[in-house]
Amino acid sequence: MLDFTSQHTTTSDVAIRVRDLVVQFRRQTVLKGLNLDVYKGEIIGFVGASGAGKSVLTRTIIGLVTPKSGSIQVFGRELTTADDDERQQIERRWGVLFQQGALFSSLNVLQNVQFPMREYLDLSQRLMDEVAIAKLRMVGLPADVGRKMPSELSGGMIKRVALARALALDPDIVFLDEPTSGLDPIGAGDFDSLIRTLQQTLGLTVFMVTHDLDSLHSVCDRIAVLADGKVIEAGPMSTMLASEHPWLKEYFRGKRARGVPGLVRGE
């Protein structure tokens, strides 16, 4: 088995620890004994072929899919055996950006961002308005977007509002499922640097599923590769470029990767 814990050995550095995770849908086994460590304060990028199970892994960690066996620890607490109270305490500490944004279509932008605040915190309307506006501004949207409905927003704006909502409670971890898919390259680049800035400002741990070589290269501290229901490789970009796994060679050193500066050097 690969050694994922070469540099970090203490448990206190680990935000998410997954061990021997097995997830099954009827007859199909999607994750087959997956192991993974995500360290505090890092941006980890997940890659893998379409249908490899990246979304399933994300949804399993955040509790939307029940694993068949295995253990998931978040901040040292075991989630697979946690009761409702414990779960809620942990859930309060993460934010999720779904692939399609998943904004509530009957609420306006400001109400969407305030939704988790209403659930978890007992704040005055004034403070909620002020903080929600600050969050919108931090994800690069003007304050007057606050009164718009989700159906009036463009794809990029929806992702930004969804990010603002994911950050509403100042979480310690954010899960991003393909945050830049469907954005134009400039918009995607902006979004990447936004995630980097927010991560540094708020001290976030970021778990990001992405297919964007640019974002892998520019924002991720580490990259994990999912194939055959397992993490087959994890490490910084240099590890990926040095790997001899055929899928990785094609992915990082194939034709597609050539246009990306920094990757060519690895050849």
Partner 1 sequence: MEAAEAHRAEGSLTEHDLLSGRTSGERLQLTASGEWTADNAAVLDRLVTATAPAEGAVSKVDIDMRRVEKLDTYGAWLVERLIQGATEKGAQARLIGLPERFGVIVRTVHQNADELPPAPERTNLFIFALATIGRNMVEVGKSIALIAQMFGAVTMAFVRAVMHPTTFRWTSLVNQIDLVGWRAVPIILLITFLIGAILAQQGIFHFRRFGADIFVVDMVGILVLREVGVLIVCVMVAGRSGSAYTAELGSMKMREEIDALQIMGLDPVSILVLPRIIALIVAVPMLTFLGSMAAMYGGGLVAYLYGGISPEVFLQRLREAISVDHFIVGMVKAPFMALIIGIVACVEGLQVEGSAESLGMKTTSAVVKSIFLVMVLDGVFAMFFAAINL
Ligand X SMILES: Nc1ncnc2c1ncn2[C@@H]1O[C@H](COP(=O)(O)OP(=O)(O)O)[C@@H](O)[C@H]1O
Q: Which residues bind partner 1 (CB under 8 A)?
A: 105-106, 110, 120-124, 126-127, 129-131, 133-135, 137-138, 142-144, 146-147, 149-152, 167, 169-170, 200-202
User: d(Cα 267, Cα 136) in Å, to the nearest integer?
Assistant: 41
55 binds ligand X (CB under 6 A): yes
Residue 48 CB partners (closer than 8 Å, separation 6+): 54, 225, 226, 227
Q: Indicate which single residue of 14, 16, 36, 52 sits in contact with ligand X (rule: CB under 6 A).
A: 52
Question: Which window, 10-18, 45-53, 166-174, 200-208, contacts ligand X (CB under 6 A)?
Answer: 45-53
For residue 232, the surrounding DSSP H or E stretch is strand 230-235
Task: Return the number of the residue (14 or 226) whose C-beta is nearest ligand X.
Answer: 226
Task: Return the number of the residue (55 or 205) whose C-beta is nearest Mg ion.
Answer: 55
- Which of 36, 18, 170 is CA-nearest to residue 93? 170
30 binds ligand X (CB under 6 A): yes
**Strand-by-strand arrangement of the 77-78 sheet:** 28-39, 14-25, 69-74, 77-78
Task: Return the number of the residue (98 or 252) whose C-beta is nearest ligand X.
Answer: 98
Task: Return the number of the residue (53 or 95) whose C-beta is nearest ligand X.
Answer: 53
User: d(Cα 184, Cα 206) in Å, to the nearest integer?
Assistant: 22
For residue 161, the surrounding DSSP H or E stretch is helix 155-166
Output the six-digit token pair for 23.
């997830």
Residues 46-75 that bind Mg ion (CB under 5 A): 55
Please state the closest distance from residue 31 (CB atom) to partner 1, in A. Answer: 29
Separation in Å, CA 141 to CA 151, 159, 191, 193: 16, 11, 12, 15
Please state the closest distance from residue 66 (CB atom) to partner 1, in A. Answer: 27
User: d(Cα 245, Cα 1) in Å, to the nearest integer?
Assistant: 15
Q: How many residues bind ligand X (CB under 6 A)?
A: 10
Tell me the residue number closest to Mg ion, measured at CB. 55
Question: Which window, 53-61, 162-170, 190-198, 228-236, contacts ligand X (CB under 6 A)?
Answer: 53-61
Q: How far apart are the first and last CA of the chain?
A: 27
- Site residues (CB under 5 A) for Mg ion? 55
- Site residues (CB under 6 A) for ligand X? 25, 30, 48, 50-56
